[in-house]
């Protein structure tokens, strides 16, 4: 199937790499809002300005949307779902229902399949919440994130005056995790679930004590957490904190037996060296599903909940049953 990428940042590069790992996919183009001659792809695939996207309609089976959720995807996915099978990683959880409604209308208008909110959370974590909840009907869900870099929290620190650069790690609290795994069904506050660790490069002469105080008391982002702040050099930041690792865990504990006498723990965890590259791999798998479902005449907006797992695998049904079942 012929794949195109819309938007060429970390995620777009990740999709380029993911497509190269899938024998049944070919990357045919990258589209950008920048001047195409300024964008150099890793694989050498041609870069076009987004203005030429519709002209290539017949050459593209699935368009993978690689913009951001805040400002790019709400408009872009809705617009292009009229013309292409699309997959996006829209991750503003609270706005998913309205995004779904808009994209669904567009995709039905165009007779296309539009997969939204694909990645790991939303995405694989959501799937695991659904499966575990359908199995253990009497139980409790827990989601932990990290250890990993939160781009939003890093950006928030960078906006403080006197801060040159920063990297923030979200870290699950081991004691909380242990209590969950032990079926204690703890009620956990925000502070009890995660800690936040910040590595900050201050501008020369900046008041570090004031910066640290501003970070630790920042509402929503840090005030509700136990936060540690380390001041480091620009060189250290580049050397030790260049990666974009992330991950996390979804757990459900529940009881069975006529007296609820048996405990069960379902746990799904991810440990990712590169958040965007892993997300891109999930996007590629769901691009395959979008293509296949579209071929079957299915249309409209879909999420990971609507996709039978078999659509994701390059194996035949017979191979799946004999090798994986």
Provide the binding-site residues for a second copy, judged by CB under 8 A: 14, 17-18, 20-22, 42-43, 93, 96-97, 100, 117, 122, 124, 126-131, 133-138, 181, 256-258, 261-274, 277-278, 280-282, 285, 288, 303-310, 312-314, 317-318, 320-322, 324-325
Residue 21 or 233: which CB sits closer to a second copy? 21
With CA atoms as reference, report the closest residue to 78 among 238, 300, 288, 294.
Answer: 300
Bridge partners, residue 31, by sequence: 6, 48
Query: What three-state secondary structure class fits 222?
Result: coil
Q: How far is the CB of 19 from a second copy (least distance, A)?
A: 10
Residue 172 or 222: which CB sits closer to a second copy? 172
Residue 132 or 200: which CB sits closer to a second copy? 132
Using omega within 30 degrees of 0 as the cis cutoff, is the peptide bond preceding 263 cis? Answer: no
Record the tokens describing residue 148, joined without a space: 């990993």
Q: In this structure, are residues 292 and 87 in contact, taking their beta carbons and an 8 Å threshold?
A: no
Running DSSP on this structure, what letter comes out for residue 203?
A: P
Residue 63 or 266: which CB sits closer to a second copy? 266
Residue 171 or 320: which CB sits closer to a second copy? 320
Q: How far is the CB of 100 from a second copy (least distance, A)?
A: 6
Q: How far is the CB of 89 from a second copy (least distance, A)?
A: 12
Whole-number Å distance between alpha carbons of 194 and 147: 9
Q: How far is the CB of 103 from a second copy (least distance, A)?
A: 12
State residue 287 phi and psi, 5-degree precision.
Answer: -65, -40
Query: What three-state secondary structure class fits 22?
Result: coil
Task: Name the pairing type of β-strands 194-202 and 262-272.
Answer: unpaired
Q: How far is the CB of 83 from a second copy (least distance, A)?
A: 24
Q: How far is the CB of 247 from a second copy (least distance, A)?
A: 8
Residue 171 or 206: which CB sits closer to a second copy? 171
Report how far apart the first and last C-alpha atoms of the chain are (Å, whole number): 26
């Amino acid at each position: 199937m012929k794949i195109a990428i819309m938007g060429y940042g970390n995620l777009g590069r990740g999709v380029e790499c993911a497509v190269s790992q899938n024998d049944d996919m070919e990357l045919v183009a990258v589209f950008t809002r920048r001047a195409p001659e300024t964008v150099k792809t890793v694989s050498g695939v041609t870069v076009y300005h987004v203005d030429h996207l519709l002209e290539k309609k017949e050459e593209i089976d699935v368009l993978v949307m690689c913009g951001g959720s805040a400002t790019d995807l709400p408009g872009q996915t809705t617009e292009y779902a009229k013309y292409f099978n699309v997959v996006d990683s829209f991750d503003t959880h609270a706005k998913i229902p309205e995004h779904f409604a808009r994209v669904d209308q567009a995709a039905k208008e165009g007779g296309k399949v539009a997969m939204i909110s694909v990645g790991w959370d939303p995405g694989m974590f959501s799937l695991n919440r659904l499966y575990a909840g359908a199995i253990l009907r009497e139980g409790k869900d827990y989601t932990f994130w990290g250890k990993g870099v939160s781009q939003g929290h890093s950006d928030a620190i960078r906006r403080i005056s006197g801060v040159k650069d920063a990297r923030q790690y979200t870290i699950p609290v081991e004691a909380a995790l242990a209590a969950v795994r032990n079926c204690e069904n703890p009620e956990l506050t925000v502070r009890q679930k995660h800690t936040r660790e910040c590595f900050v490069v201050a501008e020369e002469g900046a008041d570090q004590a004031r910066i640290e105080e501003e970070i630790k008391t920042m509402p929503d982002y840090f005030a509700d957490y136990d936060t540690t702040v380390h001041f480091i050099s620009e060189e250290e930041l580049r050397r030790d904190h260049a990666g974009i690792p992330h991950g996390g865990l979804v757990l459900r504990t529940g009881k069975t037996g006529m007296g609820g006498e048996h405990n069960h723990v379902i746990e799904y965890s991810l440990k990712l060296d590169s958040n965007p590259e892993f997300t891109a791999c999930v996007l590629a798998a769901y691009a395959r599903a979008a293509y296949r479902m579209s071929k079957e005449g299915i249309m409209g907006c879909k999420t990971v909940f609507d996709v039978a797992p078999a659509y994701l695998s390059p194996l035949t049904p017979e191979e799946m049953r004999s090798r994986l079942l």
